[in-house]
Amino acid sequence: MIQLTDVTKRYDDTTVVDGLNLQINDGELVGLIGHNGAGKSTILKMIAGLIEPTAGQVRVMGWDMQKQNIRVKQKIGFLPEESSLYDAMTARQYLLFFSELYQMPRQKALKRIDELLASLDLEDKHKLTGEFSKGMKRKTAIARTLLHDPDLLILDEPSSGLDPLTSFFIINYLRTLKLEGKTIILSAHNLFHIETICDRVGIIKNGRLLVFDTMDAIRARLGKREYQVIFHADETLEYERANGNYIFRTAEVDAIAGMLETVSANRWTLVDLSMRESALEEIYVKLMTNE
């Protein structure tokens, strides 16, 4: 689906993307994360064919985006971080206008618009987009991105700045689109969302791809696993204590087994046994501060 080979992008003396190699498969939902200025938006724009790399090659659906991007753009939906709407139009009028730009047959366009407005909970037919909340405006921009039923969605911060409920709605909507067979690549600062929905995650720093893998593989390589036993004992012990219980923590499975034997042998009360893995946020901070 998407293949970036030795891709570099420079503006004058500034290298924004540095020798990037990246492959994204059909039907994947991929997240890119990184600090402001890391190169995420530039990468998305090169994949969408909006800007050309200084060096290297970008191929999408088998086509070279430097030579044949017109053919591919018909199959791409691109959502920029900031999307301006036409304030004097309703959502329906706005989408109908873009359907004409896409040269969609009118009846097909009207049916598609009705489907999108319903699925994105934008069925107020008379309210102008200039009166919309930020969340409603973002939903309308997403509807525009989906209007021509593209195979590939490129989304730059789709839930940025939205209230938690609207953000949750949009993230779950992306799950639905993936189930429909869409290939999705997005950038986001909300690492919990990325960790939750993405098949693979890319971590970018200063234009370089530090990591690109599944969350399980990233945790195995860069994270840590901690086990915790919480128990109650009516005696004074040299363990961490909280809420009237004792807490034993370790990264060793054998140590946990030994602790459970100790709890049982002393007839203490086992309250809880749990395992915790590093969150993406912890791994990200580690990479950003250590690289």
Q: For the chain, give every domain's residue range.
A: 2-213, 225-277
CA dist 211 to 12, 47, 214, 288, Å?
27, 19, 10, 12
Which segments in the chain show pLDDT lower than 70? 291
Looking at residue 282, its pLDDT comes to 92
Looking at residue 74, its pLDDT comes to 85
At 133-166, the pLDDT tens digits run 999 999 999 999 999 999 999 999 998 878 888 8
Find out whether 129 and 89 touch, Cβ atoms under 8 Å: yes
Find out whether 129 and 137 touch, Cβ atoms under 8 Å: yes
Q: Which fold has domain 2-213?
A: Rossmann fold (3.40.50)
Q: How many other C-beta atoms are found inside a 10 Å radius of the C-beta of residue 278? A: 17
Q: Can you tell me the distance from the alpha carbon of 24 to that of 70, in angstroms, rounded to the nearest whole number? A: 20
pTM score:
0.85
Q: Can you tell me the distance from the alpha carbon of 219 to that of 200, in angstroms, rounded to the nearest whole number? A: 12
Looking at residue 279, its pLDDT comes to 92
Looking at residue 281, its pLDDT comes to 93
Length of the chain: 291
